[in-house]
Each structure stands twice: as C-alpha cells, then as structure tokens.
Structure 1
Amino acid sequence: MIESFANGALALLGISFLIFMHELGHFVAARAFGVRVETFSIGFGRRIAGFHRDGTDYRLSLVPLGGYVKMAGEYGDFDDEQVLDPGDLASKPIWQRFIIFSAGVVVNIALAFVIYPVAFGLGVPFMSPSIGTLVPGGAAWRAGGQVGDQILSVNGNTVYGFEDVGLEVALGDPEHTVLHVLRGERELDLVLQSDRVDSRWDAGIYPPASARLVVASGEQSPKPAERAGLLDGDVLLAANGLGVGQVYRGRTLGAREVLQRARTSGQDLVLSVERAGQRLDFTLTPEALDSQGGRRLLGAVPLARRVAALRGPAAAADFPLAVDDVIMTLAGAPLLDRELLLVAAEQGPLELSIRRHEQLIEAKLTATQAQALLSGDVALAGDETQRFIQPLKGGALEDAGALPGDEIVSLDGQPLADYAALLSALKNSHEDVVVHRVGLARGEQSFDLDVRMRPLPIMDDGLDLKPVEITHDLDLAGSIAAGWNASTHALQTTAMTLGKLFTGSVGMENLGGPLSISFITYKSAEMDFAKLLFFLALLSVNLGFINILPIPVLDGGQIVFLMCEKVKGSRLSDGFMQNAQLVGLVAILALMVVVTYNDILRFFA
C-alpha cells in the first residue's frame, strides 16, 4: 500500500515537474522582456496553496491537468482603444512576444535532451525487441521472420525495446517496412507489407515471454494461482504434461505456448515450477469472470482449414497446396482440427481432399512436403465461404450441443449460403432477440437447436508471464549519444503521429488522455526510476508538440495570431480575439472528450 502510494506520488511529481518547466519557460522569457506576470499556476481551477512575491501569485490549483502563466496585458484584458502599460504583454514588439509564447515549448524539447541521457546512464529496462510469437500469415511471417529474431532497427531507426517496434511499424510505409534483425550471428533485412489491424498498421508479432510467473492478487479474495500456492518469480517448467523447451509437433515450445495450450484444453491447470532449486507441482482451476453486460454471441467461428498464406518451401511452384485452397478431408475423414493435420504430418505423407475454385481435387504431400506444415510454413485461417463451424469453449452453441464440423444451414428458418451470411443475419436481427433457432447438418442428419445467445465466459487463472527484459546501461559517452538519438527520434515520431492523425492514417481511437498518461507514468514509476525518466522525456516532447499546435488558447495559436498581426500591421481586435479563444477552447474540450472516452474504453477493456 505504501509502495503504491509512493509510486503514485512519484508519477504525479514527474508530470507536475514537466508542467512547471513549461510554464517556467514562459515566466522567465516574460520577465526578461519586462512583462508583468500576475499568476504562475500549476493546475487549473481554485487556488489551494501558494504565496505572493514581487507582484506574482505563485499557486497550486485544484485540477492538476496542466498549468498557466497569466501575464498583464494579454488579449482580452483591455479595450481596443486602451493605452497600454509598459509592463503589458501586448505592448511588447512581436519578436519578443514570439519568444515568450514559444519559450515553454523550447524548454520542453530541451528538457528531453537532458533527461534521456540521464535515464540511459542509470540503465533503462525495456521489453526485449525480439520476436516471441509470429501471427501465422501476418506481415512478419510472410517476410520470413522467425521466433527469436532480434530486431535491431525498423526503417533505419534504432529500437531500444519492443514498444518502439510497434510504433515504427504503425508510422512507417505499410508497403515497405524494413526490419533489420539479428538471427544467430547473421544480420538480415525483412521487408514487410504491413496489415491494417484496429485502425493501425501491424507487423503481426508479439514480444517474448520468460518462464517466470507473475501471480495476480485478488482485490476481495485470492485468485486461483494465489490460492494454489504459486508465487511471483516461480519458473514454469511444464503445464499439463508439456514441458518448456520440449520439441512438440516439429517445433520447440516456449513458456507462453505451453501455458496457452494448457489453458485451451478446458481442464484444470497442472503446473510444474522451479522455486529455490526445487521442482514443485500445483493444480489450479480457472474461474469464470463476471461477463454480464458483454456482447451476446452464438459462440462459433468458421473451421480453420483455408490456406491463408504460404512461405518458404511451401511457396514453391510444385507444392500441392495453393493460397485459398480449403482442406476438406484428411485420409478420407473430415478435417475438424488443425492439430490432426500436424499429427498426421509427423507420421509421413498426407492424402488430402481440397476445394479449389469450387472444384474438389485430391492432393498428396510427400513426407518432405508435409514438414512444411510442422515448420509453420502453411498458415491456415477460418473459411467464411462455407458453413462448417468450430463451437467456442463454453459458448452458447457448444452448450446447446453443437460439435466441431457441424454445418449451420439456417437461422430462424432463413437459409444461409455461408458463414458470412450468418454474421450478416445476426447483425440485422433485432437486438432484443436473444434466442435463435439454428439449423444444423451433421453428416446425414439435420436438426434444429434453440440457442440462447450470451457473452462468452472469460476464464481467469490469475497467472501471467514476465516479459523478457533488456537493460540499456551505458557509459557517459554512450548515454549522451543514445539520449541525443532518442530525443531527435521522439521529435520525428511525434510529428509523424500528429500528421497521420490529421490524414486519418492513424485512427483517433489510438489517442490517450490524462488517464492513460497518469496510468503509464504510474506503471513506469512502479517498474524503475530510469524507466520513469525515459517516459517523462517522451512526455515532455509530446507536451511541447501539443502546445505548438495552431489552436487558439495554445501557444501555437498565439504565434499564429502574432503572424496575423504582423501582416495586418496593427493589433487584432479584442472582439476577434475573444471569439477565436472561444473556438479554441471548444476544440480543446472536444479533444479532451475524445481522449477521455478512449481512456475509459481501455480501462473497461
């Protein structure tokens, strides 16, 4: 409890420090040019603490979401015909006011160039920028990526952690993204064509996980892993009979895959762990979380037997399978599970019946060709052009009696042409309809099931795996060089992000607001002080860029007004300025609503 409070206080102090430095830039510049500063505030709203000195009210205000410097003689403080005092801001030459308005941004950018080297000097922990998991058929998979590849740079930009990889891919050219990787002792380039996933460009990779367990504590009662006696830092050795590092179906299993296979078995988890040099065994039963209010579903996906992509030896012209082939049968029996295909591939040649362009043809794979399945060079996906389904564990259809390979032929008496037609029919059905009559075919049998749609159960075992981390611990020269590189790169990526937001290449739902900033800052403080500094340096760059946007009430908007004044040759009217400030305020409030809505969605997700 005390540690959580300390981390929260450290995060709040860090954010407040950046705001203080931004406003200090305005304050010092204003004082240097003889402008009278009436208020220097950290936060907005009611004054809760502070002091007065030399005519300035230094205050801490109630809402700690920003800050401001109130200078005498700002627009709105005087009438158009009023004679200005020498200490008024509006009495100063345009070039002096330009420096005053831009000083906060300059300080924020300069601060990043100071904080980054300090963070690298202390040693910053990052998630290892290596490929831990490849999405079959994803961009990196198609480019020839392999699990274990260490990513050194993306599009020529050095990456320090896995977080950088996702950002570089999202901002890069989706038609030509270059991952420079280290594979063993050899460096090579992977040229990606990125995929659009959730309004951003994605490489289809996930970071590596160590075998060390992270055991969650329940707020009101212990979670399954905690009840079973597992502890943070236990090293996973095996789960439900599969060992970490074991060669299984032609590949070596990592901790994440071992744990995931145990979770999807639908059985209790039987885990073997190492603790203080001893091997210990634990059994735990995952529990269903409350899913009330979740989206009601039938609980079925199309059978995953369509060839989505091929690579390596499987992409050769003489390989019996082609993209969009649908594997209908294996050795004369319907193919209901990808695992059956892998088991058969281990044993030798394969005899398949496939559907290609509405024709059924026979395909034979030699023992050598079958190895392409085991090596992961054939990516299978759901076939939405057919009606064969895989009921989801614990879903409504499974509970009603549906089995893998059943064919959905109708919904509420209406015939269905394919799985896509099922999705369309469900989308167009009235939201109050929760029970559907589903027509199924199973072999020669046809029958109806009354299925009550409900949210899928979310099973929780209270376990996670600690990510693989690396620490950049550099000497003085290395810290300065890395800090300079990180600072300039932060400037570039922030500018690119803003540009892509305006063009729509990056969706607005990717924006985070005060809640996200506070949460990430807190998590950084929780991890490591150097990590907190690193994030604050990035946040300082973002704060500078946001303030330079040409929106009235922001520094950038004030600079635009100065340019207009220069062109006009006289002060802008008080009425115009008041209206412009109102428009700017509305724009900022609208942006705050959007980012806060995004934060709330992330929180409840």
Structure 2
Amino acid sequence: MTSINTILTNLAAFIIAIGVLVTVHEYGHFIVGKLFNVKVLKFSIGFGRSIYSYQSKIGDKTEFRLSLIPLGGYVQFLDGRNGEIEPKEDGRAFNQQSLLVKIAILFAGPMFNFIFAILAYFIVFSNGIPTMKPIIGEVVENSYAYSAGIKYGDEIISIDDKKIEDWETAVTSLLKTLVDKKDFDLGIKRDDSYEKVLTFSIKEETAYLTEPGSLFSGLGFYPWQPPPVISEIVYDSPADKSNLMKGDRIVSVNSINTRSIQEIINIISERPSQKISLEYIRNGVLMSEDITLDQGNENSNRGFLGVAFLRDYENYWYINRLDLSDSLNKSISQTWSTAGFTVTMLFKMISGDVSTKNISGPFSIAKYAGISVNAGFNQFLKFLALISISLGVINLFPIPMLDGGQIIQFVFESLKGSPLSPRIEQLSQQFGIMAIMLLMSIAFYNDLFS
C-alpha cells in the first residue's frame, strides 16, 4: 500500500523532471531558431489548454505558455505552410530556410538533451557518489550462476574483458552482453587473491533476462546486501516482548522471503498494529514466532517492531569522486554509451530479442523519479540524465512528427526538388500518430500490469 506522501513525492518529482527536460529540449529548438533569425510564435511547456501565458513585449513578441498536459512541449515557428507571410517577415519563416538550417533547428532539441545529460553527469562525478563494489550476495541453487561456479562473496572484476568496478557498470555490461549475444565470461576475484574466469552459457532466454527486475533472478545471483541480523532490541517494544534475541537473522516475514534489511523495513512499515509471522535463524536452527506490531508514533501510520540491524558497509561501499578532467571525460563517454545502448535496446525490441516491458510509462517514470529524489540530489541528477538521453534518442527516430522524422522528410523533399503532396504528408502524419500511440499504449500497459 502506497502512502499519500509517497504518491505526492512521486508526482512532484515527475512534474519537475518532465518540466526541466522538456524545457531543455524545446529551448534547443528555440535558441537555434533564433540564431538563424527564424521567427518564434510560441514556446509551450505541455500540450492542450494554456494555464499560464506571457507574451514578450520585445522582438518577435513570442508567447511563452505553460499548458495543461505536462507530457511534452513544442516551439511554433512562423511557417508559410500554415498561412500567408507578411512581406516584412519574408525570409523568417521556417519553411523558407535552407535544408541545413532546418536540420540544425530540428536536431538542436535532442542535442540539448545530450548536453544536459553530460552536464548532469559531470556534477555527479565531480561531487562524488556512494558506489557499491560488485560483490556477489545470495547465489540460487540450480541457476546459471550456480552452474558456472559463482559463490557468495565473489567480486566481479570483468565481463568479457571489460573492467568492472561497481554494480552499475556490471549491470549495464551484463545487459549489453545479453543483448549482443547469448554467452559471456565473468571474471571474479575470490578471497582477495584467487582470480578465475567463469563462463555463462545462456539459453534462448535473452528476452526474459532483459525484462525489468529479471536480470539477477534469471541469472541466479544477487548483489551483496547487509544480512538482516539483529544487533539491538528497543526496550518495551514488540520485539522486546517476543523471543527475538541479538544475533537472530530474519529470513521471512509473513511467508515472504527477505533478502535485505530494506525489504523487512518495507513489509513491517506497511502493517501498523497488525500481527506478523517472523521466521529467523538462531545458531543454525530455523525458528518462527507471531508478533503484533506497534504503531511508530501518534503522527505516524507505520508499523514498528523495535529492532536494529548490523550494517557492515565499510568493505562494500566507497565514495567515487573524480577530478574535473576525468569527470568531463566520463560524462561524455557515459552519455555516448547510454545513447548507443538505448538505440540498441529499441531495435532489439522491434526484432523481439528484448522484452518490450522495458518501455516505461509515466507512472513508472514518476515512481523512479520519487525514489531518486528520496535518494538525494546526485541520484536525481543521474535519473534526469538517463531520461534526458532517452528523450533525445527517441526524438531522433525516423517517425513522422518527431524531430528525426521531420529531418528525413526535409532531406527527401530536398532530393525530390519539391514538397510532399498534401495526401502523402497527411498519410505520413497519420502513420506517425499511430506509431506514437502504439508506443504510448505499450508504456501504459506496462505501467498498469507491472
């Protein structure tokens, strides 16, 4: 059950994220259009009815507006295809520009999204971010990882000869490898000295393994997390009134197997004043007990058990902070590789090699926006960078109505020597609308059934 505070946080984070990224995208079109002296009539964040507008008193008297539906935006240029052009405005209409100028204006939106991602990553890498070493936690029996010989505590040092230093790089490399081929080599370090290369032979399960949340469960191993071992018990709490003791390791709550401290916290928080069933291990013996939770306090509607857990982070986490030069280089390479991987994933979805469940709708984006906000400024910037790259890539796809589709249209018209016929242009726009609606339908379907 999601609390109202979580919903409001997700909604606010989503509106801020989309507002910032759409503004960046449309500003790219706007500023490059102004650079080539193309008249700008409107600059809108959002679609539909205007809820706020301001008309500039100088220059082109551009109308800046905030519209009702916050799922995009547009810049409207003066264009002879929409009506007659006054003689004094001759040469300032978008349709009167050269092919290269049109391409520059259309390409500027996605390019500004990529530039924003580089700047966001630069701030993140310069600030330094908590980074988790790629150390293996639980290994599932009879899985790919178990068959390959992976063990608890192994550290991943390479994937197909690519050096791995953190879990984020490991996950990205695993997904890229699975998308490109079926088998891969995993270099691991064991007991700080022993190194070995393990081969993963993957069957025809690439589509499943690339589904959101399926990578680790499908391969059969999980990142290391602090085990939920009780270190302290609060006096006169539900835990204190039970048989729980320091050193007990909780393994399930209400028959839900728990691998991490956070899973236990989430389950307990959602059950104030309710009876729960705990399973825990003490001295190698599995035990169970029913405990009635308290409510945290008068102003909280969260369940309270009254235990603290051991949290051994020192050997598994570090702060990764780069100098300015390295931050810039990594920001550019991160943006480039993420954009390339996004393109690959989209084409693989079309071919059926990758699950279309990876297409996120507004509800999923809002959820992750809220999670990133709660995780801190750097994590929210990383989220913005990722969405900004996706927005830039998708807008360059050769679909009518998107920037990429319009670039293709104008190149074709230039080669042909004349504009498209009204009938062909209408059909292309209808195809573009259908393609976008199909994409949105898949995204909403994934949101509703994820």
2:202 to 194, 202, 216: 194
Aligned position for 2:41: 38
Shift of 1:157: 4.5
| CA deviation string 1:480-509 (max 9, x = no partner) | 343233223212211221221122110212
- CA distance in 1 between counterparts of 2:246 and 2:343 reads 43
Any idea what SS the aligned residue of 1:31 has? Answer: helix
One-letter code aligned to 1:475 = L
- With over 3 angstroms needed to count, the CA separation of the structure-2 counterparts of 1:256 and 1:96, relative to structure 1, is closer
1:552 paired to 2:400: yes
Aligned residues: 387
Which structure 1 segments of 5+ residues have no match? 215-226, 243-253, 274-280, 288-460
What secondary structure is seen at the aligned counterpart in 2 of 1:42?
A: strand
1:222-233 equivalent positions in 2, closer than 5 A: 228=238
Aligned to 2:247: 237
Give the letter aligned to residue 579 of structure 1. L
Residue 190 (structure 2) pairs with residue 170 (structure 1)? no
Cα contact 2:156–2:187 (8 A) shared by 1? yes
- Percent identity among equivalent residues? 29
Aligned with 1:597: secondary structure?
helix
What is the aligned counterpart of 1:473 among 320, 323, 336? Answer: 320
Farther-moved stretch of structure 1 (50-59 vs 152-161): 152-161
Q: CA RMSD in A?
A: 4.0
Q: Match of 2:187? A: 180
Give me the whole-angstrom Cα distance separating, in 1, the residues matched to 2:68 and 2:413: 35
Correspondence list, 1:252-401, <5 A: 268-269=277-278, 284-285=290-291
Q: Is the 8 A contact 2:188 2:198 kept in 1?
A: yes
Distance verdict in 2 for CA 1:507–1:483, change over 3 Å: same
Match of 2:394, as an amino acid? I
Corresponding position of 1:320 = none
**Distance in 2 (alpha carbons) for counterparts of 1:285 and 1:57:** 62
The 1-side partners of 2:168 and 2:322 are apart by: 23
Q: Report the Cα distance in structure 2 between the residues aligned to 1:526 and 1:95, rounded to whole angstroms.
A: 44
Q: CA deviation at 1:94?
A: 0.6
In structure 1, how many angstroms separate the alpha carbons of the residues matched to 2:15 and 2:164? 28
Deviation at 1:462, TM superposition (A): 12
The whole-number CA distance in structure 2 between the counterparts of 1:113 and 1:156 is 26
Which residue in the other structure is 1:101 paired with? 106
| 2:94 corresponding residue in structure 1 | 89
User: Which residue is 1:433 aligned to?
Assistant: none
User: Structure 1 segments of 4 or more deviating over 6 A?
Assistant: 1-4, 461-469
The code of the aligned residue for 1:155 comes to D
Tell me if the contact between 2:239 and 2:307 (Cα under 8 Å) persists in the aligned partners.
no
User: How far apart, in 2, do the equivalents of 1:123 and 1:498 lie?
Assistant: 31
- Structure 1 contact 153–181 (Cα < 8 Å) conserved: yes
Q: Deviations over 1:324-364 (max 9, x none)?
A: xxxxxxxxxxxxxxxxxxxxxxxxxxxxxxxxxxxxxxxxx
Partner residue of 1:527? 375
In 2, Cα distance between the equivalents of 1:517 and 1:596? 11
User: Structure 1 residues 475, 591: closer, same or farther in 2, change over 3 A?
Assistant: closer
Deviation at 1:571, TM superposition (A): 1.9
Who is 2:32 aligned against?
Answer: 29
Contact 1:143 1:192 survives alignment (8 Å): yes
In structure 2, relative to structure 1, the CA distance for the partners of 1:241 and 1:500 (3 Å cut) is closer
Please state which structure has a larger fraction of its residues in strand.
Answer: 1
The counterpart of 1:561, out of the listed 409, 413, 420, is: 409
Flag the 1:66–1:74 CA change in 2: closer, same or farther, 3 A: farther
2:386 & 2:402 partners in 1: Cα distance? 20
Q: Indicate conservation of the 8 Å contact 1:239/1:269, yes or no.
A: no
Task: Please state how far the C-alpha of 1:188 moved relative to its aligned partner.
Answer: 3.6
Find the residue that maps to 1:64 and give its secondary structure. strand
Distance change (3 Å), C-alpha of 1:142 and 1:35: same
Distance 1:599 1:534 in 2: 22
Q: Which amino acid in 2 is paired with 1:548?
A: L
Which whole-Å CA distance do the structure 1 matches of 2:69 and 2:332 have between them? 34
Q: What's the TM-score, normalizing by structure 2?
A: 0.74
Counterpart residue identity of residue 123, structure 2? V
The 8 Å contact of residues 277 and 288 in structure 2, kept in 1 or not, is answered as no
Once the two structures are superposed, the pairs formed by residues 446-595 of structure 1 within 5 Å of their partners are 470-476=317-323, 477-595=325-443
Q: 1:134 and 1:241 mapped to 2: Cα distance? A: 15
Q: Please tell me whether the aligned partners of residues 120 and 472 of structure 1 are also in contact (alpha carbons under 8 angstroms).
A: no
Q: Which residue of 1 aligns with 2:159?
A: 154
Listed as ranges, the matches of 1:366-445 within 5 Å are none
**1:236/1:272 contact within 8 Å kept:** no
- Amino acid corresponding to residue 365 of structure 2 in structure 1: I
- Equivalents in 1 of 2:251, 2:6: separation in Å? 38
Query: Per-residue displacement from partner, 1:41-84 (whole Å, max 9, x unpaired)?
Result: 11111111121113211111111111111112175x249xx9x9
